[in-house]
Amino acid sequence: MTSANTRYVIGVDVGTGSARAGIFDAAGLMVASAKRDITVFHETGSIVEQSSGEIWNAICHSVKEALAQAALSPEQIAGIGFDATCSLVVLGEGGQPLPVGPSENAARDIIVWMDHRALEQAERINKTNHEVLRFVGGKISPEMETPKLLWLLEHRPQVFAKAWQFFDLTDFLTWRATGDLSRSTCTVTCKWTYLAHEQRWDETYFRTVGLGVLADEDFARIGQKVVDPGTPLGSGLTAHAAAELGLREGTPVAAGIIDAHAGGIGTVGAQGKPESSLGYVFGTSSCTMTTTQKPVFVPGVWGPYFSAMVPEAWLNEGGQSVAGAAIERLLSMHPETLRAQTDAAQAGQSLPVMLAGLASQQSDNLSGAVKLAEGLHVVPEFLGNRAPFADPHARAVIAGLDMETGLDSLVALYIAGICSIGYGLRQIIETQAKAGAPIEQVVISGGAGRLDLVRQLLADATGKPVLAIQAEEPVLLGAAMLGSVAGGLFNDVRSAMTGMSRITNTYAPAAGDIASLHDARYLAFTKLQSVAREIR
C-alpha cells in the first residue's frame, strides 16, 4: 500500500524495444511499473531507425498506467528522471520530425544506436588521429553521433540543413518534457566528443572531420548548455507535457543519462564504493562501467569521461555491441529452437529460462553447468568487437559443432554462449587493470543477467564476484535516482545511489577444477579471436 503522505519518484527508461516507467519510494522500492513496446525499423545497409513521436507516446502511456497501478495522485510525485539508448534524434523547426533515411518517412527521425550506416565515416574520422579521440579509447565508433552526423551531411544534406536540433534521445525526452535545450554531461561526453573536464566542445575536431558547420554555429544545434545528470531542468514539466503524462505541471525533471549508465547509477553505489565496482549492464548489448578518481586511458575502451556517470569521477565504458542479442542469434541457428520455444511458451517461460533450468538439472551445481559445453566454443562478435579492440569488422566464431540436433545440444550451445559473454567481459576487465583501472567485483543489471545460472557462470568466467542488487529494475532505479535529486529527496547523485540501492546476492567465482576449465576455455576464446582477425 502507498501512503498519501509519502513522496515518490518516476524513472523512465527507453531501451531498444520498449519504453518503461517505474515508480519508486525514497528507499528505492519499486511500487509500480508499466511498459509499451516500440517499433524498430530495419533496412538494408545496416540502417536501423525509430520514431521519437511513437517513443514519447509510449512513455506517456507507461507513466499513466504505472500511476494507476500504484493508485497515486500526481501531487505525490516529487520528480522524474529519464534514460534512453544513445540514439540520434533529428528535428526541424518547431520540433517537427525529419526523415533520417531513404524511407523518406518523417516519423522515422531517429538513427538508432546500433545503426552502422556511418562505418565509413567513422573510419575516416579515426584516420585523423585527432587528440579528442584519446577520450573515446583511441577510436570513434559508428554507433556514436559525430559519424552519424557526418553521414547525414554527406548523404542527406537537405535534412541536415533543415535540422533545428540534433539530440541524443535522452536529451530529446527532457526537452520534450520541459522545453529546456540543456544537454546531459553523460550523453554529449560519451557519444558526441564533448570534453566535460574542460567544459567545452573542441572546435578543431569538428573542422578536421568535416563538421565545421556546427562549429560555425557555435554548436547551437548540438548543445550550448551542458549540465550534470540529476540537474533540475527548466521549470519542470510544461503544462502540455504534464497533461500528456498525467502529472502535475512543474513536476521537477532531471537532466537524464544513457540507459546503460542509468544501470551503473542504479547499482555501483550500493555499498558506497563505486570505484571498486564494475557496473555490468547485460541486456540486448552489454556495457561495462568502471569508475576511477583519475583519468585512465585504455585503448579500445571508451573514455575516460569526466562526470558522465558518478559525479566528479572518471568513467571508462566498454562492452559488446550485442550480448543478449548474441545469445538469441546463436540459439536461432539451432534446429531444435522452434520446438523448444513452443515448449517454453506452453510452460509460461522464455527460452533462456527453460534452457537455464535444464542446464541446472543436468549439473551438480550452477558452476558445473560449464561442463555441458565441453568442446564447444563461441566468440559472440556478430556485430563487431566494441571493447577492448574497437573493431567493428569483427564477426562471430563457433567452433566444435557436431551433428547433434536434440535439446541437449541446444542447452550446450546456450551454456557456451553465456560463457563466451563472460570471457569477453574478462578480457575487458584484464585490459583495464593493466592500464591502471582494476576492479574488485562486478555489479550486474539488465534483463539478460537476471538468472542465477547466468550470474554464476559470469562470476566463474571472469574470476570476479558478481553482485546483484535488490532492485529488479536497476536501470529504471538509476533514472528514478536522478528524479529524486531534481525533486529534492536527496542532495546529490552519490547520496541517492547509496540511499536507494542495496546488495542482496553475491555469486563467488568457482575455484579448483572449474576455475582451471574456464582458464582453458578463455585461452581458446582469445585464440579463436586472433585466428578470426588473421583470416579476415
For 373-411, the DSSP string reads GTT-EEE--BTBB-SSS-BTT---EEE---S--SHHHHH
| The three three-digit cell numbers of residue 272, written as one number | 558506497
DSSP symbols for 88-152: EEEE-GGG-B---STT--TT--EE-TT--TTHHHHHHHHHTT-GGGGGBTTS--TTSHHHHHHHH
Q: How far apart are CA 119 and CA 140, in angstroms?
A: 10
Does the domain at 324-428+511-535 match CATH 4.10.140.10? Answer given as: no
- Give the mean model confidence (pLDDT) for residues 294-312: 93
Name the percent of the chain lying above pLDDT 70.
Answer: 99
Count Cα atoms within 13 angstroms, Cβ side, for 155: 17
Identify any residues that bridge with 232 across adjacent strands, giving them in sequence order.
254
CB atoms within 10 A of CB 536: 9
pLDDT of 41 above 70 = yes
Question: Exposed, middle or buried by CB within 10 Å (0-12, 13-18, 19+), for 383?
Answer: buried
**198-249 pLDDT tens trace:** 999 999 999 999 999 999 999 999 999 999 999 999 999 999 999 999 999 9
- Give the mean model confidence (pLDDT) for residues 22-26: 98
| The three three-digit cell numbers of residue 384, written as one number | 563487431
Torsion sign across C-alpha atoms 101, 105, 106, 109: negative
Backbone angles phi, psi at 138, to 5 degrees: 95, -20
**375-434 pLDDT tens trace:** 999 999 998 998 999 888 999 999 999 999 999 999 999 999 999 999 999 999 999 999
What's the mean per-residue pLDDT of the chain?
A: 95
Q: How far apart are CA 456 and CA 199, in angstroms?
A: 41
Q: How far apart are CA 181 and CA 184, in angstroms?
A: 10
Contact in structure between 254 and 233 (CB atoms under 8 Å): yes
Nearest to 17 by CA among 38, 48, 46: 38
Q: How far apart are CA 226 and CA 217, in angstroms?
A: 16
pLDDT of 2 above 80 = no
CB atoms within 10 A of CB 1: 5
Alpha-carbon separation of residue 80 from 25, 173, 272, 335 (angstroms): 12, 11, 23, 46
pTM of the model: 0.89
Backbone angles phi, psi at 222, to 5 degrees: -120, 0
- Give the mean model confidence (pLDDT) for residues 90-110: 97
Q: Where are the alpha helices (DSSP H) in 133-226?
A: 145-155, 157-162, 169-178, 185-191, 203-209, 212-216
pLDDT of 5 above 90 = no
Q: How far apart are CA 120 and CA 351, in angstroms?
A: 37
Q: How far apart are CA 492 and CA 133, in angstroms?
A: 30
Parallel/antiparallel/unpaired status of strands 257-258 and 286-292: unpaired
Tell the CATH topology of 8-257. Answer: Nucleotidyltransferase; domain 5 (3.30.420)
The domain limits of the chain are: 8-257, 324-428+511-535
Q: Is 390 left (phi over 0), alpha (psi -120 to 50) or beta?
A: left
pLDDT of 283 above 90 = no
**441-450 pLDDT tens trace:** 999 987 889 9
Identify any residues that bridge with 43 across adjacent strands, giving them in sequence order.
47
Quick one: DSSP state of residue 333?
T
**3-state DSSP assignment of residue 254:** strand
CB atoms within 10 A of CB 4: 9
Helix then strand then coil, % of the chain, to nearest 5? 45, 20, 35
* Range with lowest mean pLDDT among 14-23, 265-274, 468-477, 498-507: 265-274
pLDDT recorded at residue 319: 86
Q: How far apart are CA 188 and CA 194, in angstroms?
A: 5
